[in-house]
Amino acid sequence: MKYNADEKGYYGEFGGAYIPEMLYPNVEELRQNYLKIMAEESFQKEFNELLKEYVGRPTPLYFAKRLSEKYNTKIYLKREDLCHTGAHKVNNTIGQILMAQRLKKKRIIAETGAGQHGVATATVCALMGLECIVYMGEIDIERQAPNVARMKMLGATVVPALSGSRTLKDATNEAIRDWINNPTDTHYIIGSVVGPHPYPDMVARFQSVISKEIKSQLQEKEGRKNPDYVIACVGGGSNAAGAFYEYLDTPEVGILAVEAAGKGIDTGKSAATSVLGKMGIIHGSKTLLMQTPDGQITEPYSISAGLDYPGVGPMHAHLFKSGRGEFHSVTDDEAMKAGLELCKLEGIIPAIESSHALALFEKKQFKKEDVIVVNLSGRGDKDLNTYIEYFNL
Ligand SMILES: *Cc1c(COP(=O)(O)O)cnc(C)c1O
């Protein structure tokens, strides 16, 4: 079994590029060039230098002693929360801005829901002096004022999407419309392992630095490259793809993916795509997707904005379907409890997305000698208001 994309961008039966004809030239230009450009020595050099000097990589692989004692197993945290801008997303936007420069693009567009990807995109545009336009649903602009302010400070133009439910999917529609109208000078930075081929593969490759580092760091600390399990939360799936990447073809390493169950799988307020989803097409990719019986996309829900996505990247759909990955779902309450527990036991305030991955220790029993790596995808500063409200702080 193969767990990476084939030349057409398929992961098993998932993936591909289901796009309107008018978008074909843009996507095709990227498809024809991305592997070639990424393989260039000058690209690799600049990418790795920026990851080191600007993002702050390698991020530590931290042995969480008190958390390990509590769950009677050996737990390491991969500290993506220490990346510049507070999460793993910047690994990808750094890669894509360098790609855009080499494709001679002058203008960058992106869509954002909670604003995290918008901020990561605005950051790298400021770094490189490129024009940045971020589409965002009008409702999300109201809900996520601090991130809107960050994007503006970083020099981006935030354009409200006024149609439909005025949230993420409408912002995506606006971004696609923009790209169709600006085929030559614009690059569209997608924020996760979703969208038409080659995006899922390209984003997974940029994020794979996470598992490359885990390998060498674990070798140093444990005398072996492979943990028994890697755990990551899955929204679209980019931090998980990065943490799993080097281990996809190593069956001894258990792959544990955690989705957001929201208020509960059966409540209609959930984002657990592998359980609730059926095959469908979203953002140009054939994948598992939460939908009504007549194929309309269902509005997802999770307390963490980053997991609030109705689909899942095609790599993860394939990991689920093939059985290579073990998928779990965690409710809002379970995640919030696990997040607070990490604060008290390790002095680390995690993003609520990452707290979903941590909550797995209450649901799955590990052996004392197991070595487990949890990808701590981001820090909790952005979630402070949600923590305050939830715990009455
Ligand atoms: C955006 C985000 C996620 C979810 O996105 P993936 O593509 O699934 O990784 C998870 N954690 C944090 C901290 C995020 O900002």
pLDDT in tens, 320-351: 999 999 999 999 999 999 999 999 999 999 99
Catalytic site includes residue 111: yes
The catalytic residue among 80, 111, 174, 213 is 111
Q: What is the pLDDT of residues 169-183, one digit of tens each?
A: 889 999 999 999 999
- Candidates 219, 234, 230; CA nearest to 252 is 230
| Cα–Cα distance measured from residue 118 to residue 306, given in angstroms and rounded to the nearest whole number | 12
- Candidates 275, 246, 280, 283; CA nearest to 259 is 275
Query: Which H or E run contains 141?
Result: helix 138-143
Among the atoms of ligand 1, which is closest to the Cα of residue 239? Answer: 9
Catalytic site includes residue 304: no
Considering only CA atoms, which residue is closest to atom 7 of ligand 1?
Answer: 238
**12-50+89-203 to CATH, choices 1.10.1750.10, 3.40.50.1100, 3.40.50.12280, 2.40.370.10:** 3.40.50.1100
Ligand 1 binding pocket mutation candidate from 209, 349, 353, 376 (most atoms within 8 A of CB): 353
What count of residues does the chain have?
393
Residues of the chain below pLDDT 50: none
CA of 163 to the centre of ligand 1 (A): 25
What are residue 207's phi and psi, to 5 degrees? -80, -15
CA of 234 to the centre of ligand 1 (A): 7
Among the atoms of ligand 1, which is closest to the Cα of residue 379? Answer: 13
CA of 21 to the centre of ligand 1 (A): 30
| Cα–Cα distance measured from residue 307 to residue 301, given in angstroms and rounded to the nearest whole number | 8
| Cα–Cα distance measured from residue 347 to residue 376, given in angstroms and rounded to the nearest whole number | 13
Among the atoms of ligand 1, which is closest to the Cα of residue 378? Answer: 13
What pLDDT is stored for residue 28 in this prediction?
Answer: 97
CA of 266 to the centre of ligand 1 (A): 24
Catalytic site includes residue 377: yes
CA of 218 to the centre of ligand 1 (A): 23
CATH of domain 57-87+208-391: 3.40.50.1100
Which amino acids bring their CB within 6 angstroms of ligand 1? 87, 89, 116, 192, 233-240, 306-307, 351, 353-354, 377-378
12-50+89-203 and 57-87+208-391 in the same fold: yes
pTM here is 0.98
Domain assignments of the chain as residue spans, ordered by start = 12-50+89-203, 57-87+208-391
* Strand spans (E) along the chain: 10-11, 14-15, 61-63, 74-79, 107-112, 131-137, 157-161, 186-188, 229-233, 254-262, 278-282, 285-289, 325-331, 371-376
What pLDDT is stored for residue 167 in this prediction?
Answer: 86
